[in-house]
Amino acid sequence: MRAIEITQPGPPDVLKLCERPMPVPKEGELLIKVHAAGINRPDVLQRTGNYPVPKGASDLPGLEVAGEVVGGDFEGTHFKLGDMVCGLAQGGGYAEYCTVPAAQCLPIPEGLSAVEAASLPETFFTVWSNVFDRCHLSEGETFLVQGGTSGIGVTAIQIAAALGHRVFATAGSDEKVKACEELGAERGINYKTEDFGQVVKDATNGKGVDVILDMVGGEYTDRELRCLADDGRLVFIALLGGNKANVSLGQILLRRLTVTGSTLRPRSVAFKAAIAQQLHERVWPLIEAGKIKPVIYQTFSLEEAAKAHELMESSTHIGKIVLKVV
């Protein structure tokens, strides 16, 4: 099969088209003929040598795919040959065929194309796991997401808004701020020209937000603690701004704040299976009802993976970048 491999750690041009043997599904896995594969920030980190591949996972990049089930272990599943699914892979998505644990696969929502469905798993699993499972965003609570036009951001805004929460989102330009508001944010905040903490405080009558989803870290951290409501929760999913911060521990102590974080890729199949079930029950109906929509910024052919990574690193995109394989 054709695939894209990382020839050595480095810039986007280290991604090269190659021929690889087709993967063989293990117990509990499906073999998927890939129609489309999503591009995510962890793929970039893996390409640069900063995201170790878990033991037993494919060295090929690609954490989410959509396509046709053409083989695998169907015992205990509702899947069969010919089903169109999207799935959260351990790697190997930049290829014509990919194996994915069946428990981490979901049917493509009715009305979506494979390209649209390929943009779902990585960000939807991540957002649900961190915002709703880990931080327990509950009825009547408010939510802030940093980087509102990233793949994570557009997903977080839409899910939280569709479930009835007041949503705030930061972005780096007025165009992106507008996009956040069109996706369902009550207020987009241009972090280059506005103080997100002050905007949040003003909009909540000084209370602050209940949950913040952050992929920045660094110097943002103390500012985020100060714009949390009492009993608020801050969750990190990346540290693009650095992994060290000076924070006021008194804020955490006196106002009962929670600071947490997680990465999804190393977690067990059982952990991810539980997320898949919740997404199928709670979020897939919202997608099929048109209340949540995939946001595809641009598609590339498999051979153009390097160009897709260049776009990802430019941070000019709004939404997801997807490789079309078929």
- In 7-162, beta strands by DSSP E: 15-19, 29-39, 64-72, 84-88, 97-101, 105-107, 142-145
Q: Residue 101's pLDDT is what?
A: 98
C-alpha span between 190 and 200 (Å, rounded): 12
The fraction of the chain above a pLDDT of 90, given in percent, is 96
Q: Residue 178's pLDDT is what?
A: 98
pLDDT surpassing 90 at residue 130 = yes
Residue range 151-207, pLDDT digits in tens: 999 999 999 999 999 999 999 999 999 999 999 999 999 999 999 999 999 999 999
Global confidence as pTM? 0.96
Average pLDDT, the chain: 97
pLDDT surpassing 90 at residue 316 = yes
Domains within the chain, CATH numbers bracketed: 2-119+293-324 (3.90.180.10), 124-261 (3.40.50.720)
Mean pLDDT of 233-241: 94
Long-range contacts of 106-114 (CB under 8 A, 24+ apart): 106/276, 106/279, 106/280, 106/284, 107/83, 107/280, 107/284, 108/66, 108/84, 109/284, 109/287, 109/288, 110/288, 111/288, 111/290, 112/287, 112/294, 114/35, 114/36, 114/66, 114/67, 114/84, 114/86, 114/326
Using alpha carbons, list the distances in angstroms from residue 269 to 37, 104, 108, 274, 314.
20, 7, 20, 9, 33
Residue range 70-92, pLDDT digits in tens: 999 999 999 999 999 999 999 99
Residue range 170-180, pLDDT digits in tens: 999 999 999 99
Q: Residue 240's pLDDT is what?
A: 86
C-alpha span between 169 and 64 (Å, rounded): 25
Question: Which residue blocks in 128-259 are alpha helix, DSSP H?
Answer: 151-162, 174-183, 196-203, 220-226, 249-255
